[in-house]
Amino acid sequence: MKVIFSHGKESGPRGSKIAALAEVARTLNTPLQIEIDSIDYRQETDPDHRVEMLRKSLDRDDLILVGSSMGGYASAVAAQHYPVKGLFLMAPAFYMPGYAIQEFVNIRCPVTVIHGWRDDIVPYEHSVRFAREQRANLIIVDSDHRLASAQLALTRYFSLFLLEIIDLHARSSK
């Protein structure tokens, strides 16, 4: 199984959230080996070009996409066109002006969305709308767009998410 991280517009491939979640994936007590990849989008500010960069990395059938902000958008759009095992999205930049995709269809995997009540970049209501339309798990925490004050919660929710995906994968392999 491979986890691909997609960072946000103002972040990088080794930001604090990605580093913490990658550590969770590396140290999770599971019989499956989990590989980690983090795409460097720092030179690309167009969200839809980021989608294309991500789609070029989708080279196997046991992928989990993790995205923050603009990276959440890229991950969700890619998941519409590629069968991934799961999506874990943090303050995803959905329904934003200038983004090509405004409706999400054909996402056929478990999805968890975490958003901050005090997000002043992407309104949490956008994640509520997405979660309602996708029947995704939605967790709203007392934090802002960066979710820095919720990092412990992020790691715990991500661990539970990975365990769920691994369990689903194991049951479907039998």
pLDDT grade for 38, boundaries at 50, 70 and 90: very high
Q: How many CB atoms lie within 10 A of CB 55?
A: 13
Diameter of the chain measured on Cα atoms = 45
CATH homologous superfamily of 2-173: Alpha/Beta hydrolase fold, catalytic domain (3.40.50.1820)
* SS3 of residue 55 by DSSP: helix
What pLDDT was estimated at residue 29?
Answer: 85
CA 119 – CA 143 distance, rounded (Å): 7
Amino acid residing at 56: K
pLDDT > 70 in the chain, percent: 99
- At 21 the pLDDT is 97
Residue pair 90/72 in contact (Cβ under 8 Å)? The answer is yes
More confident residue, 32 or 4: 4
DSSP state of 100: S
Give DSSP secondary structure letters for 135-170: T-EEEEES--TT-GGGHHHHHHHHHHHHHHHHHHHH
For the entire predicted model, the pTM comes to 0.96
List pLDDT tens digits, range 78-134: 999 999 999 999 999 999 999 999 999 999 999 999 999 999 999 999 999 999 999
Tokens of 156: 């715990």
Q: Two tokens at 55?
A: 């789609």
For the chain, domain boundaries: 2-173
